[in-house]
Amino acid sequence: MPDSTPPPDLQAAEATVTGAGMPFETIHVDSPVVACDGGDGALGHPRVWLRIVSHDIICPYCSRRYVLNDGVAPHSGH
């Protein structure tokens, strides 16, 4: 009978996103508005524009966390 256990790298990714409730990846940015498409070309997700209104934001599709670098003002306009 074949082993149905996912490979170790997939297990780690699943544990990072779902098990611990932590973001999959943290990206530091210099702009309070960022575009996220999940990376990986066709394996990503639709491009979404995220506005950082305090210090960070997590993409609802891929769980990437975008953190605003120190000294950059958060988005406060329209």
pLDDT band at 8 (very low <50, low <70, confident <90, very high): very low
For 61, phi then psi, to 5°, come to -85, -50
Confidence of residue 3 (pLDDT cuts 50, 70, 90): low
The per-residue pLDDT for 40 is 81
* pLDDT of 12: 40
DSSP string, 5-72: PPPHHHHHHHIIIIIS---SEEEEESSSEEEE--SSGGGS---EEEE-SSSEEE-TTT-EEEEEPTTP
Q: What is this structure's pTM?
A: 0.64
pLDDT of 19 > 60? The answer is no
**Could you state, in order of their start, the residue ranges of all structural domains in the chain?**
23-78
Instruction: Specify the CATH class of 23-78 in words.
Output: mainly beta
Residue among 29, 5, 10 at smallest CA distance from 64: 29
The confidence band for 59, taking pLDDT boundaries of 50, 70 and 90, is very high
